[in-house]
Amino acid sequence: MAKKITGYIKLQIPAGQANPSPPVGPALGQAGLNIMEFCKAFNAHTQSMEQGMPVPVTISVYQDRTFSFECKSPPASYFIKKAARKSKGAKLPGQEVIGKVTMDQLREIAELKKADLNANDVDAACKILAGTARSMGVTVEGQ
């Protein structure tokens, strides 16, 4: 018989850097989960990723206080900032331009994120990513 899910916890944790401090500890503690067990499992799962890369994770909490988790791909904004070689987006998007990315770079990002994007093909995914880039103050060359 399947376990009964009592809730979900959504967090964004740097890859390989989960520890019991906030936001991980309090979120899991309220659900009655073993914090260190999650931290060890998450760090082992994200060991192959670039250290410090933000990883969205959804934790399913079961009635018997056990859990399972699913890691998604890092946010599109992370990849766009990395491609544009910037540390943050524009303060006034639409008025301020902070950098440029090419369509080839957007295609690479679309390939990395295709499982998490709501798109049927790479071209549609590129359009989604181009919109994200524009809202960050990054121009897209070769559209």
Query: Are 61 and 118 found together in one domain?
Result: no
The more confidently predicted of residues 37 and 119 is 37
**Rounded Cα gap, residues 143 and 137, in angstroms:** 16
Query: Are 23 and 48 found together in one domain?
Result: yes
Half-sphere exposure of 52 (CA within 13 A, CB side): 1
Domain count, the chain: 2
Query: Are 66 and 81 found together in one domain?
Result: no
Q: Does the pLDDT value for residue 15 go beyond 70?
A: yes
pLDDT in tens, 60-103: 988 888 888 898 888 888 988 888 888 887 788 778 888 888 88
CATH of the domain at 84: 1.10.10.250
Query: Are 54 and 101 found together in one domain?
Result: no
Q: What does the pLDDT read at residue 143?
A: 65
Confidence at 58, pLDDT banded by 50, 70, 90: very high
Q: What does the pLDDT read at residue 1?
A: 58
For strands 138-141 and 99-102, give the pairing. parallel
Q: What does the pLDDT read at residue 92?
A: 82
Q: What is the average per-residue pLDDT within 5-34?
A: 86
Query: Are 19 and 65 found together in one domain?
Result: yes
Looking only at Cα atoms, what is the longest distance across the chain?
57
Classify 49 as helix, strand or coil.
coil
Percent over 70 (pLDDT), the chain = 99
Place of tokens 């916890």: 9
End-to-end, the C-alpha distance of the chain in Å comes to 52
Q: What does the pLDDT read at residue 33?
A: 85
Residues in the chain: 143
Q: Does the pLDDT value for residue 18 go beyond 80?
A: yes
| Residue that is last in its domain, among 71, 94, 120 | 71
Q: Does the pLDDT value for residue 25 go beyond 70?
A: yes
Query: Are 108 and 134 found together in one domain?
Result: yes
| Residue that is last in its domain, among 31, 47, 71 | 71
Place of tokens 């890859």: 15
**Rounded Cα gap, residues 71 and 54, in angstroms:** 10
Q: Does the pLDDT value for residue 19 go beyond 70?
A: yes
Query: Are 64 and 80 found together in one domain?
Result: no
Q: For residue 10, give its domain range.
A: 5-71
| Residue that is last in its domain, among 46, 71, 96 | 71
Place of tokens 């979120």: 27
Percent over 90 (pLDDT), the chain = 4
